[in-house]
Amino acid sequence: MDYLDKLTQLAQVQGKINIRCLFQGDWRVEHNVNTVQDEGIFHIIEQGECWLTLADKTFHLQAGDLFFLPKNCPHRMHSSAKVSTKSTAITTSQGLFELRQIGQKSPDLKMFCGLFLYQKESLLIDALPEYLHFHLPETPVQPLLQLFLKEANETNQGSKSVIDALANVLFIYILRHALQMGWVESGLLAAFEDKRLSHVLIKMLNEPQAEWNIEQLAELALMSRANFCRVFQQKMQMPPKKFLNQIRLQQGAYLLKQTPKSVLEVALEIGYQSEAHFSKAFKTAYGITPSQYRK
């Protein structure tokens, strides 16, 4: 399992493509933050064009574009570069997708919307930029998009399961393409691509239970202690001990959700000396006890 697989596993990402939009005429739609769950949302333009405003930036989206907001920042979508003065009412019906329509004529815009659910305090999600915007036909994601559109339009048996599975694959492709294009320039993912730190980070990620100290980590990185601490802080925006603690807790959260192991077994497996020590650290990070989290 490579570092991207491991980080995605710890984030416990679950993808869904659950909304289809058919919009015609002049319209504006507000997307507000969902405070109930940790999630990122994305829009895929199947046909037509629209504009998306995020804070003080406006983006022109065309057929084949994907726009991903990892932290679900508030944004507005509209039919033209000039934003309509008021929001447009939307009629909604339920089928394979939640169908949202504006206008009675043939739609100018066909768009799919989806989301990625993930665990609180995810190192992977925290490392992503505010948004990622790219044109799918120019990327390796295009065949995946074609398969998704085929499933969405034909609605065969099991289509919903296939579509959600494709969303999970899409998440990895988004990250892979962003890294290849150099769009993630700082933070965790950039650090894993740094030859000075990658070996150290992978060891910490795969062996969080080990009693790592600065001297051992610096030796692995072939650096002096002082230089290692400086480079680590510069790239990761946190010291090694904090990173190790976060990895341990996220591994613990994953084991609590995905295995029947007891809280004590989980605590010992990820490097804590007692259940009490782990429970205290977990509650500080997640706001609830390990037992409450598991429910």
As a whole number, mean pLDDT of residues 165-194 equals 88
What CATH code is carried by the domain that includes residue 211? 1.10.10.60
The reply to whether 156 and 42 lie within a common domain is: yes
Starting at the earlier edge strand, list the strands of the sheet with 14-23. 91-94, 98-102, 14-23, 109-117, 39-47, 65-69, 132-135
Q: Which two tokens stand for residue 41?
A: 């949302």
Last-in-domain residue among 150, 181, 212? 181
End-of-domain residue from the set 151, 181, 211: 181
C-alpha distances out from residue 280 to 27, 39, 142, 254, 291, Å:
50, 26, 46, 17, 12
Residues in a beta bridge with 99: 20, 93
For the chain, how many structural domains are there in total? 2
Mean pLDDT of the chain: 91
The pTM for the full model equals 0.89
Q: Which residue, of 139, 164, 181, is where some domain finishes?
A: 181
Is residue 94 over pLDDT 80? no
- The pLDDT of residue 112 is 94
Residue 37 scores a pLDDT above 70: no
Q: How crowded is residue 30: how many other Cβ atoms within 10 Å of its Cβ? A: 12
Could you tell me if 175 and 209 lie in one domain? no
- pLDDT at residue 85, rounded to an integer: 66
Q: Are residues 52 and 113 in the same domain?
A: yes
Q: Say if residue 151 is in the same domain as residue 85.
A: yes
> The domain that contains 58 carries what CATH number?
2.60.120.10
The verdict on 168 and 78 lying in the same domain is yes
pLDDT recorded at residue 34: 61
Same structural domain, 86 and 174: yes
The reply to whether 192 and 53 lie within a common domain is: no
Query: Which residues are within 8 A (CB) of 226 and not within 5 positions of it... i.e. 6 or more apart?
Result: none
pLDDT digits (tens, 9 = 90+) for 60-79: 999 999 999 998 899 999 99
Q: Which amino acid is at 118?
A: Y
Domain span at residue 76?
Answer: 3-181
pLDDT of residue 1: 72
Residue at 149: amino acid letter: L
**8 A C-beta contact, residue 37 and residue 21:** no
What is the secondary structure of 7-18 as a DSSP string?
A: HHHHHT-EEEEE
10 Å CB burial of residue 226 (0-12, 13-18, 19+) is exposed
Confidence of residue 160 (pLDDT cuts 50, 70, 90): confident
Give per-residue pLDDT as tens, 139-148: 877 888 888 8
Residues 82 and 132 in one domain: yes
Note the pLDDT tens digit of each residue in 270-293. 999 999 999 999 999 999 999 999
